[in-house]
Each structure stands twice: as structure tokens, then as C-alpha cells.
Amino acid sequence: MNGNAIRLSGVRFRWRTGAPLVLDLAEFAARPGERLFVHGPSGSGKTTLLNLLAGICLPQEGVVEIVGEDLARVPGPRRDAIRADCIGFIFQMFNLLPFLSLTENVLLPCRFSPVRRARADAAPGGAEAEALRLLAHMGLGEAAAAGRAVAELSTGQQQRVAAARALIGAPPVIIADEPTSALDADAQAAFLDLLFAEAGQSGATVLFVSHDRRLDAGFDRVVALAEINRAAGAEGRAA
Amino acid sequence: MRGAPILGLAVKSLLNRRATVGLTLLALAVSVMLVLGVEKLRTEAKASFAATISGTDLIVGARSGSVQLLLYAVFRIGNATNNISWQSYQEIAARPDVAWTVPLSLGDSHRGFRVLGTTGDYFRHYRYARKKSLAFSVGGPFTDLFDAVLGAEVARALGYKLGDPLVVAHGLGAQGFSNHKDKPFRVAGILARTGTPVDRTVHVSLQAIEAIHVDWKSGAPVPGMRVTADQVRRMDLTPRAITAVLVGAKSRFAAFSLQRAINEYRAEPLLAVLPGVALQELWDLMGTAEAALAAISVAVVAAGLLGMMIMMLAGLNERRREMAILRSVGARPLHLFALLVSEAAVLTTAGAAAGLGLFYAALAAFRPVLDSRFGLFLEISAPTAHDLAILGAVVLAGVLAGAVPALGAYRQSLADGMTVKL
């Protein structure tokens, strides 16, 4: 793959005209396959950065590229399609729909992204088998086979289902927002190992956002959002 | 990959909220059942109503209103304000354009059922539904002075068999304290069920009516005057007056001129009505009640749909996480709109289907009661095109009602994005 998986250039964002700048990034990029740890305390513009990458928010100035496509320059439905096709998300908690089975939860992105559906279908045994393979890799093969409900799983197990879902259909970018903050230290390390192993296999870029710097071992690069966000500094001082 | 995956999610999400969804579904089903039930009753009642009398060209009574005349002469409801003199009846019967007449004399009752004095011509000429004549299930018309012919419902309700004695009460009280027990009747025949007021009538001869009233005056027995049943047989029992007459004209056209002639009759103020016209007039009177009933059932459906809308709107806030997750896996705001509209569609379709099921269950359960108590025979038949149109309208209204919370979900997902602060 040529170029960057993610690239933000000259991005300035404020919630509405006249409001103070929330995010002001000169340059921020991640190469394909890169494992990037973005460190950011609250108020550093983390949530805004994620919303920009997801195409939920649009910057007033600058470029937000996901695999070469500028989200600010494509129509809304295309932005939704890019998010569905190219990005797997893992959030802090409550990632799963309680009324779907584990496998159905994992296959959820395939409902909205024909691209990921096609890739999952192309796996040996088809999409269902691919979901089960990912779940088994996450140590949840038995739980999935036993038809366990989401509510019966521990938080750590739920996060691993979320990881499997982010990985299904091999999206080029995995964005994880504090996925381990609800886990204990051992579970955190195990979760990261699994995530890296799977992302490494599909060649996905991992953008891991956390306020906890102790987790940065194993990443190719660590970026402090507060340092590169010229808007956050001002706000941080004010707060 | 658009419609079906959303529909699947909608069904699973609904199943996940069984308790609230179940209650909403029940409300919808009950309201649909009510609408179908009212519609069924309305059409069947109208049909059965129109079938009460046929083949009679004119109903003649003392001058009052046509609806009143129809009510007491045919439906045995209410009382005649006045009688027709035997003289006038004879003159009408003798007219050349009259084919047949059936005199009717009302005023007494037997254990809550009206007693009708008439002649054997009643069983020959009375027609109901599509020109069906009366048939005897056992026995036959009266041959003796104190013979009675019972309607099917009278015999069933009171358990009478052929040959049983019965005593007629004076007036219309259920258990008249003054009765004609000195002159008991005998059951000579029982009619087959007709689904008309005939079923609820005790028929006796005109002479019998006259006979039981020989020693009565102004509604009370004359003190000291006792005429036994045997003595009365030797008396002249020609009635002095009757209540109404059913008239068959020689032709359709003759009916109109006959009607005018009777209405302009000089010796006595009389009224002749065409049964079809009077039936329509009576039904129009009930039209307001009918429309009110239909309006109420529509309002009940609206309330059911409103309940669904409220449930969905109230659920929006607690489902923000669900919406955010769907957004993060690539759902567009339009998908979420479609999700909620699908939920409404699934819910109302299920509600309509369940309502249809409840309707048939209720129909099967209440059919015998309606038949025996009100003479209303409801047929269990496949839903009519009109019923299907009602069901379709309910589903359509449900989808439209679902668009309101769906719009809410659409807006909310635009504002929330993927991150929801709990």
C-alpha cells in the first residue's frame, strides 16, 4: 500500500463558528501496519480526533485522509461507507449489542460494509467461520459455541469480542479508544498481545488512544496529543 | 445489503425488549380486534336487520310514525298507540288490488315473550331473508281455539315441547301479576329458527286473543263476571279491533296506489308503509350510533399506535448506546431511521396479525351467545377485502407513526455520533 493509512494535515476544528478551537494539528499521520500509541489526557482533543477520523465531525480547515480519501471532500454517504469499510472501532466499554449473539456482534460491520463482507466471505469457510476463528483466537471459541449471551461475559471477554468485531473483514485501520481501561493489568497485556497478533496478520494500522502511558510498550511510535495539538495547550492552561 | 440486515436487527432488538414490546403488541392486537369486531357486527347486523321481513308489500297500522309502526308490528318493540277497527281491516282486505292480508294483534305476553294474535295466513304469507317462508320444526298451525305456535327461541329458552300447557299474561310484564290462567293454551307447533323476531314470539289465533279478554275490561277482570274456557267456545269471537295488518298487493305497482288509498282512508286515520323504506329509515336512525361505534374503534387503534410511538420515543434515550455502536460499525443515520421504521412496521404487522387471531377467537367464543340472545348469526368466514384494507391501513398508520421516533433517532445519531457520554 502506498502512502499513509491515516493523515491529518492543517486540521483546525471548532464545535461552531465563534467557539474556541478544540483541535489544531499541523501534521499527523500513520503508515500502513504501524502501531501508534496516542497519549492524551482528557481535554487534549482525543474525542474530537476520533470523531474527525470517523467522519462524524468535519474540520473547518485541513485534510483528514483515511487510506488516501479526504473525508472533508466526499459526500456524507461516502464518509459513512469509508468508516464502515476501512475502520474497525473498539471503545472503552459497552461495545456490544446485547440482543445479538457473539458471532452476530462480530459480523455486525459486514451488515453495513459490502467490502468487509466480501473479505470475510473470502476467508476459508466463509464469514461465519471467520468470525468463529477470530473469537477462538480471542479465547472465546467455547463461549461462542455454547451460545453464551453478551450479558454473561466479563468486561474483558466483551472487549475481546469487540476486538474480533473490529478485525472482521480486515479493515486497514483499527482505532481503539481506551479499550483496556476497564481491565486489570494482566488482562490489559493479554488483550494488547491478541490485538497486535491479529492486526499484524491482516496488516492493519493500529491507532491506540489512552491516557495511560504505562501501556505504550510494544508500539512502534508514541505521540502525545497535547504536544501536537496547538489548541489543547491553551485550553489545558485555561483549565 | 440494506433492507434485510436492518429488518433482522429490528426483530432482534424488539425481541430483546419483550416486556414493553409485548404490552404494546397486546394493545395493538386488542384495538385491531375491536375494529374488526365492530365492522363484523355492523355488516352482519345490517344484513340480518334487512332480512327481518320480506315479501310483504305494506304494513298497515293506526296513524303514527312509520318507524314506530315497523318497530311494534315487525320487531315487537314498543306499543301501538292505537288500533285498527275490524271494519277498516275488512274493507282493506276486500279491495281488489289486495292479494292477501295477515292481521296482527299484540298486547299480551308470556314470560317475557310477546304474544301475537294472528290467523293461519301468517304461516303462509310471512317471509323473511330472501323470501323464505316459515317452517315448522314440530307440529303445525293452530287448529283449536287455545292452540299456540312458538318461535324457536321461546321453545328453547322456556323448554317447551309439543302439547305443553302455557298461560298468557295480560300486558307485557315478564311475570304478569294479572294473567289469563283460567284459559290455558297448549303448544301445537314450534317454528324453525329464522334469526328474526319471529323466534321470540308466541303465536295464537285472533279468536284466542278475543277469548281471553271476554271477561276483561280496561285491562282488568270484570268483578263477578266469569266466563269459563268451555263457555267462551260458544261465543262470537270476532275481534273488534286489531293492531296492524301485513298486506300483499297483487303487483308492485298496486302497492303504491294501495298505500295512498290507505293513507287517505276517511273512516279512520291509518298509516301504510313500505317495509323496505321503513327499514332503511330505521337503520338510518341507528346510523349515528353505528358511526359513533366505528369512530370509537378507530380511536382505540389510534390510541394503540400512540402507545407504540410513546414506547419507541421513550426507548430512544436508553438506546443511544445501541445507536452509537451501529454508527461505529458503519450505519448511516438513514439506517437508524430505517431501523426504527422497520420496528414499527414489524410491531404493527404482528399486532394486526394477532388482532385478526383474537378476532376469530372472540367470534368463535361469542357466536353462540349472540345467536341465542340477540338472534344475530355471525358467520365465521375468511377476512373480507374490507377487513384486509383495514389491516393494511393499520400497518400503514403504524409505519407513519414509527416515522416520528425514527426521525428522533436520526437526529440523535447525528448529534451523538459514536460517542455517548453516559
B107-136 burial code (b ≥16 CB/10 A, e <16) = bbbbbebbbbbbbeebbebbbbbeeeebee
Chain A: residue nearest B422 by CA?
A94
A199-220 burial code (b ≥16 CB/10 A, e <16) = beebebbbbbbbeeeebbeebe
Distance from C-alpha of B72 to C-alpha of B388, rounded to nearest angstrom: 39
User: Which among A50, A81, A84 is the nearest to B329, CB-wise?
Assistant: A84
pLDDT in tens, A38-53: 988 877 888 888 888 8
Distance from C-alpha of B347 to C-alpha of B76, rounded to nearest angstrom: 48
Give the 3-state DSSP-derived string for chain A, with helices as H, strands as E and coil as C.
Answer: CCCCCEEEEEEEECCCCCCCCCEEEEEEEECCCCEEEEECCCCCCHHHHHHHHHCCCCCCEEEEEECCEEHHHCCHHHHHHHHHHHEEEECCCCCCCCCCCHHHHHHHHHHHCHHHHHHHHHCCCHHHHHHHHHHHHCCCHHHHHCCCCHHHCCHHHHHHHHHHHHHCCCCCEEEEECCCCCCCHHHHHHHHHHHHHHHHHHCCEEEEEECCHHHHCCCCEEEEHHHHEHHHHHHHHHC
CB distance B9–A111 less than 8 Å? yes
pTM of the full structure: 0.74
Interface test with A, best of B325, B328, B346, B418 (most A CBs within 10 A): B328
Quote the minimal CA–CA distance from B12 to chain A in Å.
6
Distance from C-alpha of A155 to C-alpha of A168, rounded to nearest angstrom: 20
Contact A205, A33 (CB under 8 A): yes
Q: Which residues of A touch B13 (CB under 8 A)?
A: 97, 99
pLDDT average, residue stretch A98-102: 90
Sign of CA dihedral A67, A68, A73, A78: negative
DSSP-derived 3-state class of residue B312:
helix
Distance from C-alpha of B386 to C-alpha of B44, rounded to nearest angstrom: 14
pLDDT score at B160? 92
Rg (CA), chain B: 31
Higher pLDDT, residue B173 or B116: B116
Instruction: Write down the mean pLDDT value for chain B.
Output: 87
How far CA B197 is from CA of B154, B180, B237, in Å, comes to 10, 24, 27
Quote the minimal CA–CA distance from B348 to chain A in Å.
21
Confidence class for position B91, pLDDT limits 50, 70, 90: very high
The rounded Cα B24 to chain-centroid distance in angstroms is: 31
User: Which among B330, B417, B418 is the nearest to A113, CB-wise?
Assistant: B330
pLDDT in tens, B59-70: 999 998 898 999
Higher pLDDT, residue B346 or B1: B346
Instruction: Write down the mean pLDDT value for chain A.
Output: 86
**Is residue B239 predicted with pLDDT exceeding 60?**
yes
pLDDT in tens, B69-80: 998 999 888 888
pLDDT in tens, B336-387: 999 999 999 999 999 999 999 999 999 999 888 877 666 677 778 888 898 9
Q: Which residues of B touch A113 (CB under 8 A)?
A: 330
In the structure grid, which three cell numbers stand for residue B398, read together? 403504524
For strands A205-210 and A87-90, give the pairing: unpaired
Distance from C-alpha of A175 to C-alpha of A64, rounded to nearest angstrom: 15
Bridge partner residues of B147 (DSSP): B186
Closest CA to A46 of A236, A238, A232: A232
Residue type, A133: R
Distance from C-alpha of B221 to C-alpha of B225, rounded to nearest angstrom: 8
Confidence class for position B330, pLDDT limits 50, 70, 90: confident
Quote the minimal CA–CA distance from A90 to chain B in Å.
9
Contact B374, B195 (CB under 8 A): no
Closest CA to B347 of B10, B2, B60, B5: B10
pLDDT average, residue stretch A183-210: 87
pLDDT score at B178? 63
* DSSP code of residue B134: P
Q: Which residues of A touch B1 (CB under 8 A)?
A: 111-112, 114, 117
Distance from C-alpha of B158 to C-alpha of B179, rounded to nearest angstrom: 18
Distance from C-alpha of A154 to C-alpha of A148, rounded to nearest angstrom: 11
CB distance B329–A91 less than 8 Å? no
Residue type, B227: V
pLDDT score at B104? 95
- Cβ neighbourhood burial of A228 (10 Å; 0-12, 13-18, 19+): buried
pLDDT score at B1? 39
Distance from C-alpha of A188 to C-alpha of A163, rounded to nearest angstrom: 13
Distance from C-alpha of A39 to C-alpha of B297, rounded to nearest angstrom: 62
How far CA A230 is from CA of A25, A60, A64, B169, in Å, comes to 7, 15, 17, 105
Place of cell 501501556: A215
Bridge partner residues of B273 (DSSP): B59
Chain A: residue nearest B330 by CA?
A84
A208 to chain B, any CB pair closer than 8 A? The answer is no
User: Which among B321, B329, B417 is the nearest to A112, CB-wise?
Assistant: B329
φ, ψ at B105 (rounded to 5°)? -130, 120
Distance from C-alpha of B172 to C-alpha of B109, rounded to nearest angstrom: 5
**Is residue A215 predicted with pLDDT exceeding 70?**
yes
Chain A: residue nearest B421 by CA?
A47
Tell me what percent of the residues of chain A surpass a pLDDT of 70: 96
pLDDT in tens, B92-102: 999 999 999 99
How far CA A189 is from CA of A135, A233, B15, in Å, comes to 18, 31, 37
pLDDT average, residue stretch B229-240: 83
**Is residue B81 predicted with pLDDT exceeding 90?**
no
CB distance A89–B418 less than 8 Å? yes
**Is residue B248 predicted with pLDDT exceeding 90?**
yes
Closest CA to B161 of B132, B121, B188, B185: B188
Higher pLDDT, residue A55 or B173: A55
pLDDT score at B4? 64
Half-sphere exposure of A178 (CA within 13 A, CB side): 15
User: Which among A47, A85, A117 is the nearest to B419, CB-wise?
Assistant: A47
User: Which among B1, B13, B328 is the nearest to A114, CB-wise?
Assistant: B1
**Is residue B258 predicted with pLDDT exceeding 70?**
yes
pLDDT average, residue stretch B215-243: 78
pLDDT in tens, A125-171: 889 999 999 998 888 888 888 888 888 888 888 988 999 999 999 89
Quote the minimal CA–CA distance from A26 to chain B in Å.
25
Closest CA to B347 of B406, B407, B402: B402
Contact A141, A135 (CB under 8 A): yes
Distance from C-alpha of A218 to C-alpha of A36, rounded to nearest angstrom: 10
Quote the minimal CA–CA distance from A131 to chain B in Å.
15
Quote the minimal CA–CA distance from B333 to chain A in Å.
9
Which positions 148-167 of A are in contact with B (Cβ < 8 Å)?
165
> Where is B239: in which H helix or E strand?
none
Closest CA to B128 of B211, B199, B223, B212: B199
A119 to chain B, any CB pair closer than 8 A? The answer is no
CB distance B13–A99 less than 8 Å? yes
A100 to chain B, any CB pair closer than 8 A? The answer is yes
